[in-house]
Amino acid sequence: MAGSGDASRRAHARITLLRHGQSEWNLANRFTGWVDVDLTERGITEARAAGRLLADDGLQHDLVCTSTLRRAIRTACLVLSTTQEVWLPLVKDARLNEQHSGSLTGLNKRELADEHGVEQVMKWRRTYDSPPPPADRLHPIQASILADKRYRSGVHVPATESLADTLSRVAAVWEDTLRPALAAGKRVLVVSHGNTLRALVKLLDGVAEDETYNLDLPTACPVVYDLDVQLRPIGAHGFWGTSRVVRHGRYLMAVETVALAQQAMREQVVRNIAVSIVSRTGETDALSTCDAWTAAEASSSRVTLGADGETFNVRSTPPSYFALESERIKRQATHELQKFQLSAGAGIASDAASAAALGKRVSCMLILIRHGYSQFNADNRFTGWADVDLTNRGRDEARVAGSMLRAAGIVRIERVYTSMLRRAIKTAWLMLDELEMQWAPITHTWRLNERSYGGLQGRPKPECVVEYGMRQVQRWRRGINARPPPWDEETAAATIDRRYDGVPVPTAESLADCAARLQPFLDDELFPAMRKAIAREREREAAADAAAAAGVPADGAEQGDPGGDVPVFVISSSENLLRSLIAKLDGLAEVEVPLLDIPYATPIVFQLDAELQPLPNSLAVAPMRNGWYLGDAERIKGVQASIRAQLGRSAEPAHAAPSAAAAADVDDREASCYSVSCEDEHDLHAREECFVRYADSDQVAWVCDDDPASDSPPELTSVPRSFLV
């Protein structure tokens, strides 16, 4: 596959190789393999610096491929955040995992050299066909990997691997994923591990087996290969290390600095050091080494990195398989879950009994989550397709949601679906992070985007009320068929980019329009995936029962897979998209739909039977019948009250989430901006309200027709009671 060195050939495609940022065990100078250690603070800085290098070089991508290990996934996410490409397809493939280190896993390289000699350790590290001694399947580390649910479906967990073994699985990824994308002219970013990328370099540069010893890739150092139409590398950019092996990929860092890092990496068997070519402040091209070290006990800290003030959890753990989540987030989630369980405990038992009496069983679970609090939420602006980011409050909300789902017993997610907008994507990332499920597959689709608010996009909501009147804005915001004015050319130019190539982008949408574009996603993607997962679990369960009856281990038992799990799917999206989906799942009438207020980053759970019909649940709060909130009811009620009051208030500080009491105060102060008492009909007409609250009651009704011309003074007694909250 190696190129001829003829730089005159035209570039057809591009593949960029990037090793993950510094991990905990890179810092500890330990063999890591398939152990799922996290990035260090330096590793986070390295990943962001790599993203800046890619952006500064003008490199864009069409596809990102990574492993199922968090150090690579987190690096990919940090890079995509920096390059403003979070919406790119992100393929997580266990075949891109690091080379398995066998019984060396978790051991210090310098200490191993003292025991076995430098030559033997370097043979295990760098030769082509010399695997380390295999790991015992009963060893705690190997047993944990075998039992990990990410490897339950068709993934072989090795006991050890050589580079040749690693190449065999990497070559399979090349054939079924990378080659087709590159043949189509795509620009592919592979974020993976040192030995996995060495295997890819062998393929790309045509390196002989006995020359693979010379391949070293420092952490977070991008290597870019331009390929011709035959997928041969174009041009030559030097040699690998001190050898004469031609390197057709170009570094985005100074070659001299990379060479120093490569030399330092080789010295880790004689010097107990960690190596980086990114400074603590994120500057590149400066070699940095320090004494290797490992934390004596697990810890977690919150750090702020970068001028944007974005914060990250940084975990330091001793040599163990499990990382420690943020204690603050965990305590907050546990407290909220306890309050939920206290109020819902009896209902959970009665629902299970009712389902059993009907001969129903929960065959699948769908969890809906609105994105965390965004900058436009803080500014009280109509958002639509504007791609605004989460605030720090929103990031914490997403983490709490993930921590709650984890505490509630969610141990595996089949797939997460998100919109193409960063607020939903990052909510999913952070949720998965707290679930310790960074490996869960994730799919982005424009069909899950928020409804397009057209000409209202980006405008403060109270300002729109002044211009158009409360009644009209409420129709646009909560009605079914009312479509806002279309956006202008300036808004379109600021909103639409290459992620929407080939997409019929709406200039404005009603909720009905939003529901119509959602339907193909349900019919063609979500529901088929659910049916397939249900069938697979039934087959697993039947196989396990048959094996138990025969007294033999079931297939997959060696990897800790008893079968019979309820498949869980997650959708991370925006308020109006979720309103249209909930209306469908719950069969809501048109006058009920406007009464749905979706709180930020609060899981909404639907349990489905084998026919994908939602099962009724006593935990549902009207107007919902089947779906229910996983969270403290009082907090949720307070957030919903704040959402309802938005048309009558200006922006609020983004630094803290409102407590239930504070949100209730907002509702009391600004109730007139949302609804009025039924007893004051004159005030009702004067304020042009579409929502009406019954006197001395929390019950609210929607009394507006989507067609302003057809409106008549509302007769409240004619509103069906079943449509009232």
Give me the chain's average pLDDT, please: 86
Domain co-membership, 87 together with 182 = yes
Tens-digit pLDDT profile for residues 599-636: 999 999 999 999 999 999 999 999 999 999 999 999 99
pTM for the predicted model, two decimal places: 0.87
Active site residue 525: no
Same domain, 237 and 378: no
Nearest-angstrom CA–CA distance, 206 and 238:
14
Q: Is 109 annotated as a binding residue?
A: yes
Determine if the peptide bond prior to 486 is cis (ω within 30°). Answer: no
Helix (H, G, I), strand (E, B) or coil at 273: strand
Give dist(CA 317, CA 312) in Å, integer.
16
Percent of the chain with pLDDT over 70: 82
Q: What whole-number distance in Å separates Cα of residue 150 and Cα of residue 225?
A: 31
Share of the chain above pLDDT 90, in %: 70
Same structural domain, 386 and 405 = yes
Same domain, yes or no, for 630 and 668?
Answer: no
Task: Give the residue from 238, 265, 289 where a domain finishes.
Answer: 289
The reply to whether 615 and 704 lie within a common domain is no
Q: Is residue 196 part of a domain?
A: yes
Which pLDDT value is given to residue 646? Answer: 87
Q: Is 716 helix (H, G, I), strand (E, B) or coil?
A: helix
| Distance, CA of 449 to CA of 452 (rounded, Å) | 8
* In a shared domain, residues 107 and 251: yes
In a domain, 593, yes or no: yes
596/692 same-domain check:
no
Residues 630, 689, single domain; the answer is no
As to burial, measured by CB atoms within 10 angstroms (0-12 exposed, 13-18 middle, 19+ buried), residue 32 is buried
pLDDT of residue 153: 80
Do 530 and 666 have their domain in common? no
Task: Give the pLDDT mean for 219-230.
Answer: 97
Domain enclosing residue 121, as ranges: 13-289
Mean pLDDT of 409-424: 97
Q: What is the pLDDT of residue 399?
A: 94
Is 33 one of the annotated binding-site residues?
Answer: yes
Whether 115 and 172 map to the same domain: the answer is yes
DSSP letters for 7-76: TTSPP-EEEEEEEPPPBHHHHTTB--TT----B-HHHHHHHHHHHHHHHHTT---SEEEE-SSHHHHHHH
Mean per-residue pLDDT, 155-175: 98
Q: What is the pLDDT of residue 361?
A: 86
What distances in angstroms separate CA 489 from CA 143, 388, 464, 493, 637, one per listed residue?
58, 19, 19, 6, 39
Number of domains in the chain: 3
Query: What DSSP state is assigned to residue 108?
Result: B
Final residue before a domain boundary, out of 608, 635, 662: 635
Residue 300's contacts (CB-CB under 8 Å, 6 or more residues apart) are 313, 314, 315, 316, 324, 325, 326, 327
For residue 556, being part of any structural domain is answered with yes
Options 41, 46, 85, 98, the catalytic residue: 98
628 and 664 in a single domain? The answer is no
CB 253 within 8 A of CB 279: no
Q: Which residue has the higher pLDDT, 571 or 287?
A: 571
Q: Can you give the pLDDT at residue 390?
A: 97
Distance (Å, whole) CA 453 – CA 513? 11
248 labeled binding residue? no
571 has a pLDDT exceeding 80:
yes
Reported as a pLDDT band with limits 50, 70 and 90, residue 350 is: low
Residue 454: what pLDDT? Answer: 98
Residue 374 pLDDT? 98
- Residue 23 marked as a ligand binder: yes
Catalytic residue flag (residue 325): no
Give the tens place of pLDDT for each residue, 12-40.
999 999 999 999 999 999 999 999 999 99
What is the arrangement of strands in the sheet containing 628-629, beginning at the earlier edge strand?
442-444, 415-418, 568-573, 364-370, 604-608, 628-629
Q: Is 409 annotated as a binding residue?
A: no
* Residue 26 in marked binding region: yes
Give yes or no for residue 488 having a pLDDT over 80.
Answer: yes
Q: Is 24 annotated as a binding residue?
A: yes
In 3D, which of 34, 29, 19 has the Cα closest to residue 94? 34
The answer to whether residue 497 sits within a structural domain is no
Q: What is the pLDDT of residues 653-703, one digit of tens each?
A: 444 444 433 333 333 333 333 344 434 444 443 445 788 876 666 677 888
> Whose CA is closest to 303, among 84, 555, 40, 502?
40
